């Protein structure tokens, strides 16, 4: 990869011609932050302020407050919590004050007061750690319990299938280095993956470093940059690893700082990238393959000597030649070849056993070590005894120990190979980002493009302007400032049809530009991007355990000690039976005695019973299921959401934005006073223009049709008051204007004439919302606002009924409109004029009646119900992926994805149940056979090495079963909808 200086040398400063035709010019392009603001930000640290906000009732309220706050200079972020009536603002004190922020909230029509964050409220950060060396659920449970016992750790999840830990902790109490050390103390290797959701990491290769002093100078220069969190220097390979906040700085800045240090003798470039989790997986696969091949090289001679060559007369004679007393050449050869397998290649099993036993737990390594040691050391005893005796005849089991280790290593190799395929969804998502991007240089005065150059996409920083040519992928999230095109977003949202993009529209990093050139201003990079949020959400989902997995974890906790006890009991039972002649001597082969027969049965029991298949049954299916969901535009937050969704038999729908498009329009106006329609809308728009409510915006947009072109602005409204859930009132041109619902008028003692009441009833009867307008306390007119039904909504409800899933609609709209919409879609039970808490109460009532309830809403004003439901489905997510209240995010906003999510959950849990049946039946059948229960009747027994192969096969078969989910197809009923011409947009 070329250095930045190399790129600069190759840069062609192109005037706006040739491939930049036509010339791009952005006269209205936002130039915030200004250079002065940037300098002020660099000189100060960010601060946080928490406000108690009164008067919020819905998403529109929260959106208007956020918008008002973010208009201020120096605001880094603003988060408004409708449920708790709080607003958290992160800002730069050098640019804005806490008082000014509070005033902006009050200007938006709400009551705000500053509150101190609770002193006992702990901060929270999430780190992810890759863990090497876990073999079964006993290992993951040990690490999880160790982490949860650390002071400052709030939550710890360890996933065997992904070999990762996700830890939520308080950084003021414990550091991620201490967490790494705690895991390593339990006997496992660790690699830190990430340390926070809003922190990105870049690795740079630095050439020209001659001594430690040079490296320290570079480190000091980087530490002075705002937004740099940590710097790790690796002088032996000239590498610097930098963790930073992408909204403050970026890698191009780091390279410029490094290359400007030391009189320009340093050169920096992005370090050749390893593919993270995938590189560790590939390394592990290669390691197991190498161990298996070496083990095989030593095991084959042992196998041939024991099983094949002894039946060839000439060679048998050579092998039977006695060296000392009864010690033969064949026995010595087997001993020599099996010893490296047992102690060098099989060393990992000893290390794993020691680390597990040291922590008071037992895992699969303990079973393998005990089984192979029993075979090896008994064989060693036979050799020693043969060397000192003239008449001793014993049988060694060197082939048992070496073949056992070889087959177990083969099984582990196949297992990690298969497990790698379960996480391919994440790998594919991470590969969506293009390797390079075209960076534009703008003329600061006119906003014209003066030059362009191709750079590594990892060097893009916030507020850069990039050029996206036809057929190229969008490198980062941003908004279009010039050009128009169609963008294929199917790789992110699952939506197959290209989406039109023009100036002002948002684009998502990783999507494909179909036609036309776009100039995009970058708004999110690194960990902030939508693609990173999706990857993080899918990774978190794959970490989360389903409730059904608790059974497997509980069984695995006692499984290994129980198997050891069962193995010892099997050996002792057969040995004592032989000593007391409880079975005829003919049962014992001439080449062994009763002790050796009982030993083989005991070893078989020990190695054939493995908790791995049981431990992998749920997480592998969840990994594949969530990955498949992500490719279809359905983001499922973990095993619990999957399990609950598979049992759903009742769905509660919100109306606006869920069953309807969520874009209200004024479709009719009825004047009840003698006045011009133009004058009527002047009063209405002047009052509503200050409101952020969707219906208010629709009214203002409609009123623009009657606006006087010579006087484009609305009259000023004074004494504006927004009455949550009812409407607004204001003084416009000395007249009192009220715009709202029936309750607003009645609360203010305004009589509703018979004609107005009839119009209202007529409007609501055809699924429209009636808005009353009073001027000087007399009803002047009625506006009919319609929110069109989503295409295919009634078909989706019909399909849900055929799946025996009950549909209910709960909305804050009036009863007339709600009933009309419900009739159109085929929903029988309706609850209207419901506040957010009433929706949650309805969900609770349904749950008390025995229903498993899914709530489908917009994720903000429906959040109490989304949290209360067994499964919360957030619809209308767009690119704002991280909707905390929901369990399932329907990225495309399609109603059909509700059916897809439920169907996928059912298929995934069918696969989980199948995995459990196989894993449990395998052990229930295999252990008795290994213990010799059928031997008295058939004279058939399992050699220990075959038991080892069967144990390995059980884990691989469970993973392959889970991988069958990758063949998941959309339900046939949805395909029929497409065929009949109903395609939900």
Name every residue whose Cβ is closer than 8 Å to that of residue 860 and which is 6 or more positions away in sequence. Answer: 58, 59, 62, 82
Task: Find residue 155's DSSP bridge partners.
Answer: 168
The predicted structure's pLDDT at residue 791: 80
CA angle 446, 447, 450 (to 5 degrees): 100
Instruction: Choose the weakest-confidence range: 26-35, 488-497, 583-592.
Output: 26-35
Q: What is the pLDDT of residues 312-356, one digit of tens each?
A: 888 888 888 898 888 899 999 999 999 999 999 999 888 888 887
Q: What is the pLDDT of residues 197-248, one digit of tens each?
A: 567 778 888 887 777 777 788 888 888 888 888 888 777 777 888 888 777 7
Instruction: Choose the weakest-confidence range: 343-347, 630-634, 765-769.
Output: 765-769
Does residue 486 contact residue 476 with C-beta atoms inside 8 Å? no
The predicted structure's pLDDT at residue 494: 52
The predicted structure's pLDDT at residue 600: 83
Residue range 659-670: average pLDDT? Answer: 84
The predicted structure's pLDDT at residue 190: 86
Q: What is the pLDDT of residues 367-419, one digit of tens each?
A: 788 878 888 888 898 899 888 888 777 778 788 788 888 887 887 787 777 66
Whether residue 771 is predicted with pLDDT greater than 60 in this model: the reply is yes
Per-residue DSSP letters for 434-465? Answer: -SEEEEEEE-TTT-BEEEEEEEEGGG--TT-E
The predicted structure's pLDDT at residue 680: 92
The predicted structure's pLDDT at residue 556: 66
Please say whether the dihedral angle defined by the alpha carbons of residues 377, 380, 385 and 386, taken in this order, is positive or negative.
Answer: positive
The predicted structure's pLDDT at residue 769: 82
pLDDT-derived band at 978, boundaries 50, 70, 90: low
pLDDT-derived band at 541, boundaries 50, 70, 90: low
Residue range 964-984: average pLDDT? Answer: 69
Count the alpha carbons within 13 Å of 727 in the hemisphere toward its beta carbon: 25
Which residue did the predictor score with more confidence, 524 or 982? 524
b/e for 724-747, b at 16 or more Cβ within 10 A? bbbbbbbebeebbbbbbbbebbee
Does residue 179 contact residue 129 with C-beta atoms inside 8 Å? yes
Structural element, H or E, at residue 758: helix 754-765
- Tokens read off for 274: 């390893």
Whether residue 537 is predicted with pLDDT greater than 50 in this model: the reply is yes
Catalytic residue among 365, 456, 654, 897: 654
Q: What percent of the chain has pLDDT over 90?
A: 12
Whether residue 883 is predicted with pLDDT greater than 80 in this model: the reply is no
The predicted structure's pLDDT at residue 543: 62
CB atoms within 10 A of CB 99: 10
- Secondary structure (3-state) at 348: helix
Euclidean distance between CA atoms 626 and 630, whole angstroms = 6
The predicted structure's pLDDT at residue 60: 61
Whether residue 524 is predicted with pLDDT greater than 70 in this model: the reply is yes
Whether residue 704 is predicted with pLDDT greater than 80 in this model: the reply is yes
Euclidean distance between CA atoms 150 and 837, whole angstroms = 37
With tokens 């299916």, the residue in question is: 621
Residue range 941-960: average pLDDT? Answer: 78
Whether residue 286 is predicted with pLDDT greater than 70 in this model: the reply is yes
pLDDT-derived band at 291, boundaries 50, 70, 90: very high
Does 654 participate in catalysis according to the annotation? Answer: yes
The predicted structure's pLDDT at residue 737: 92
Of the candidates 897, 873, 695, which has an alpha carbon nearest to the alpha carbon of residue 790?
897
Which residue did the predictor score with more confidence, 782 or 120? 782
Does residue 624 contact residue 915 with C-beta atoms inside 8 Å? no
Average pLDDT, the chain: 79
Euclidean distance between CA atoms 974 and 985, whole angstroms = 13
Preceding peptide of 33 cis, ω within 30°: yes
Per-residue DSSP letters for 909-946? Answer: HHHHHHHHHHHHHHHHHHHHHHTTTTHHHH-----HHH
pLDDT-derived band at 663, boundaries 50, 70, 90: confident
Task: Find residue 486's DSSP bridge partners.
Answer: 500, 515
- Tokens read off for 663: 């874009």
Whether residue 906 is predicted with pLDDT greater than 90 in this model: the reply is yes
Euclidean distance between CA atoms 289 and 912, whole angstroms = 29
Q: What are phi and psi of 962, to 5 degrees?
A: -65, -35
Q: What is the pLDDT of residues 9-35, one digit of tens each?
A: 333 333 333 333 334 433 333 333 444
Whether residue 613 is predicted with pLDDT greater than 80 in this model: the reply is no
Euclidean distance between CA atoms 346 and 355, whole angstroms = 15
Euclidean distance between CA atoms 428 and 627, whole angstroms = 10
With tokens 């229930």, the residue in question is: 924
Which residue did the predictor score with more confidence, 902 or 938? 902
Instruction: Choose the weakest-confidence range: 44-58, 222-236, 466-480, 661-675.
Output: 44-58
The predicted structure's pLDDT at residue 739: 93
End-to-end CA distance of the chain: 42
Distances (CA, A) of 125 to 84, 147, 197, 408, 882: 21, 15, 8, 39, 16
Whether residue 714 is predicted with pLDDT greater than 70 in this model: the reply is yes
- Secondary structure (3-state) at 670: strand
Residue range 758-781: average pLDDT? Answer: 87
Euclidean distance between CA atoms 755 and 336, whole angstroms = 105
């Amino acid at each position: 990869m070329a250095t930045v200086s190399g790129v600069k040398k190759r840069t062609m400063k192109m005037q706006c011609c040739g491939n930049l035709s036509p010339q791009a010019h952005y006269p209205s392009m936002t130039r915030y932050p200004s250079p002065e603001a940037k300098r002020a930000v660099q000189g100060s640290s960010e601060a946080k302020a928490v406000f108690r906000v009164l008067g919020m009732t819905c998403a529109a309220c929260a959106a208007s407050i956020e918008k008002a706050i973010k208009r201020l200079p120096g605001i880094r972020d603003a988060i408004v919590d409708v449920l708790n009536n709080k607003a958290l603002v992160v800002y730069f004190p050098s640019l804005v004050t806490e008082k000014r922020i509070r005033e902006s909230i009050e200007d938006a029509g709400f009551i705000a007061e500053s509150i101190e964050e609770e002193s006992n409220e702990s901060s929270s950060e999430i780190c992810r750690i890759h863990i090497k060396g876990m073999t079964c659920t006993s290992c993951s449970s040990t690490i999880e319990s160790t982490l949860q016992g650390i002071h400052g750790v709030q939550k710890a999840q360890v996933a065997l299938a992904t070999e990762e830990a996700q830890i939520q902790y308080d950084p003021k109490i414990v550091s991620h280095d201490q967490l790494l050390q705690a895991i390593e103390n339990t006997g496992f290797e660790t690699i830190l993956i990430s340390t926070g959701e809003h922190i990105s990491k870049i690795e740079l290769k630095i050439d020209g470093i001659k001594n430690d002093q040079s490296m320290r100078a570079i480190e000091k220069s980087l530490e002075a940059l705002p937004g740099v969190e940590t710097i790790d220097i690796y002088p032996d390979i000239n590498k610097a690893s930098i963790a930073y906040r992408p909204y403050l700085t970026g890698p191009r800045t780091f390279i410029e700082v490094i290359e400007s240090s030391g009189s320009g003798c340093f050169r920096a470039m992005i370090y050749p990238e390893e593919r993270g989790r995938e590189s560790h997986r590939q390394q592990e696969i290669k390691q197991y393959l190498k161990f298996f091949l070496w083990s095989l090289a030593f095991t084959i001679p042992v196998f041939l000597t024991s099983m094949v060559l002894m039946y060839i007369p000439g060679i048998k004679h050579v092998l039977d030649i006695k060296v000392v007393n009864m010690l033969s050449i064949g026995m010595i050869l087997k001993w020599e070849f099996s010893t490296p397998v047992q102690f060098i290649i099989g060393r990992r099993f000893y290390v794993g056993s020691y680390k597990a036993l040291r922590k008071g737990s037992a895992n699969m390594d303990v079973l393998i070590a005990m089984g192979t040691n029993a075979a090896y050391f008994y064989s060693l005893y036979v050799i020693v005894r043969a060397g000192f005796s003239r008449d001793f005849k014993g049988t060694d089991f060197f082939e048992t120990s070496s073949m056992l280790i070889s087959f177990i290593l083969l099984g582990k190799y196949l297992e990690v190979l298969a497990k790698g395929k379960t996480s391919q969804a994440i790998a594919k998502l991470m590969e969506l980002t293009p390797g390079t991007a075209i960076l534009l240089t703008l003329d600061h005065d006119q906003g014209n493009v003066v030059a362009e150059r191709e750079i590594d996409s990892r060097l893009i920083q916030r507020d850069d302007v990039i050029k996206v040519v036809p057929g190229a992928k969008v490198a980062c999230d941003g908004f279009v400032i010039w050009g128009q095109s169609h963008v294929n977003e199917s790789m992110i949202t699952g939506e197959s049809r290209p989406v039109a993009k023009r100036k002002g529209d948002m684009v998502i990093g990783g999507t494909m530009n179909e036609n036309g050139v776009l100039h995009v201003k970058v708004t999110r990079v690194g960990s902030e991007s939508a693609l990173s949020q999706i990857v993080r959400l899918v990774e978190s989902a794959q970490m989360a355990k389903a409730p059904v997995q608790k059974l497997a974890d509980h069984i695995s906790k006692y499984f290994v000690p129980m198997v050891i006890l069962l193995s010892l009991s099997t050996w002792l039972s057969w040995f004592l039976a032989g000593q007391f002649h409880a079975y005829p001597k003919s049962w014992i082969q001439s080449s062994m005695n009763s002790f050796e027969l009982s030993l083989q049965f005991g070893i078989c029991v020990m190695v054939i019973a493995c908790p791995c298949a049981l431990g992998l049954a749920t997480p592998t299916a969840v990994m594949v299921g969530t990955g498949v969901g992500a490719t279809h535009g359905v983001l499922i937050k973990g095993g619990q959401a999957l399990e609950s969704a598979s049992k759903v038999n009742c769905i509660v729908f919100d109306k606006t934005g869920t069953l309807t498009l969520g874009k209200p329009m004024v479709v009719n106006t009825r004047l009840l006073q003698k006045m011009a329609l133009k004058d009527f809308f002047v009063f209405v728009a002047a009052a509503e223009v200050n409101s952020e409510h969707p219906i208010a915006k629709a009214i203002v947009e409609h009123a623009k049709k009657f606006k006087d072109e010579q006087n484009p602005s609305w009259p000023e409204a004074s004494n504006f008051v927004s009455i949550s859930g009812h409407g607004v009132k204001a003084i416009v041109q000395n007249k009192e204007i009220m715009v709202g619902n029936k309750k607003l008028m009645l609360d203010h003692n305004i009589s509703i004439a018979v004609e107005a009441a009839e119009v209202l009833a007529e409007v609501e009867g055809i699924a429209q919302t009636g808005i009353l307008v009073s001027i000087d306390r007399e009803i002047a007119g009625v506006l009919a606002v319609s929110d069109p039904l989503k295409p295919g909504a009634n078909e989706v409800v019909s399909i849900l009924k055929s799946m025996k899933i009950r549909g209910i609609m709960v909305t804050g709209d009036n009863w007339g409109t709600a009933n009309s919409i419900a009739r159109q879609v085929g929903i029988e039970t309706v609850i209207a004029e419901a506040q957010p808490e009433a929706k949650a109460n309805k969900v609770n009532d349904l749950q008390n009646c025995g229903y498993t309830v899914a709530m489908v809403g917009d994720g903000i004003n429906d959040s109490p119900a989304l949290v209360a439901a067994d499964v919360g489905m957030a619809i209308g997510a767009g690119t704002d992926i991280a909707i905390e209240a929901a369990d399932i995010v329907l990225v495309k906003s399609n109603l059909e994805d509700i059916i897809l999510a439920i169907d996928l959950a059912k298929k995934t849990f069918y696969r989980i149940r199948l995995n459990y049946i196989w894993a449990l039946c395998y052990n229930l059948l295999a252990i008795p056979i290994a213990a010799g229960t059928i031997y008295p009747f058939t004279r058939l027994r399992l050699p220990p090495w075959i038991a080892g192969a069967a144990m390995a096969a059980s884990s691989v078969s469970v993973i392959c079963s889970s991988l069958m989910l990758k063949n998941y197809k959309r339900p046939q009923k949805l395909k029929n909808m497409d065929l009949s011409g109903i395609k939900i947009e």
